[in-house]
């Protein structure tokens, strides 16, 4: 994967939005690695990004161009979900 990630969408301007979205993606990935189950609120509170942005970056992490990571979601209760980022498939933690 190259250092510059290109985001797409009808409202995305790569020059304007790309650096911010890349920072968010890197921050979410780095925060989730090594952590257990976290809600969007917990991640947002730690990283100071909106929950909607956290949710979008977690969806991005599942996409091939952003690493094809396994992001699991489970129901915590009362309408709340939590998420866990699993290690890369090729990593070995013996």
What tens digit of pLDDT does each residue of 35-89 get? 999 999 999 999 999 999 999 999 999 999 999 999 999 999 999 999 999 998 7
Asked, for residue 91, whether it belongs to a domain, the answer is no
Confidence of residue 94 (pLDDT cuts 50, 70, 90): very low
Residue 77: beta bridge partners? Answer: 80
Provide the token pair at 78. 């009362």
Q: Which residues contact 32 (CB under 8 A, 6 or more apart)?
A: 38, 43, 58, 61, 71, 83, 84, 85
Domain range spanning residue 60?
14-85
Is the confidence at residue 93, as pLDDT, over 60? no
DSSP for residue 66: G
Q: What is the mean pLDDT of residues 19-46?
A: 96
Question: Taking the model in full, what pTM does it have?
Answer: 0.86
CATH number at residue 62: 1.10.10.10
Distance between CA atoms of 53 and 44, rounded to whole angstroms?
9
Asked, for residue 3, whether it belongs to a domain, the answer is no
First and final C-alpha spacing in the chain: 25
């Amino acid at each position: 994967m190259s250092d510059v990630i290109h985001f797409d969408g009808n409202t995305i301007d790569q020059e304007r939005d790309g650096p911010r979205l890349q920072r968010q993606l890197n921050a979410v990935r780095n925060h989730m690695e090594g952590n257990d189950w976290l809600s969007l609120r917990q991640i947002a509170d730690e990283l100071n990004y909106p929950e909607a942005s956290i949710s979008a970056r977690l969806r991005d992490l599942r996409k091939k161009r952003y690493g094809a990571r396994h992001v699991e979601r489970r129901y915590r209760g009362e309408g709340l979900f939590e998420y866990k980022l699993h290690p890369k498939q090729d990593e070995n933690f013996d």
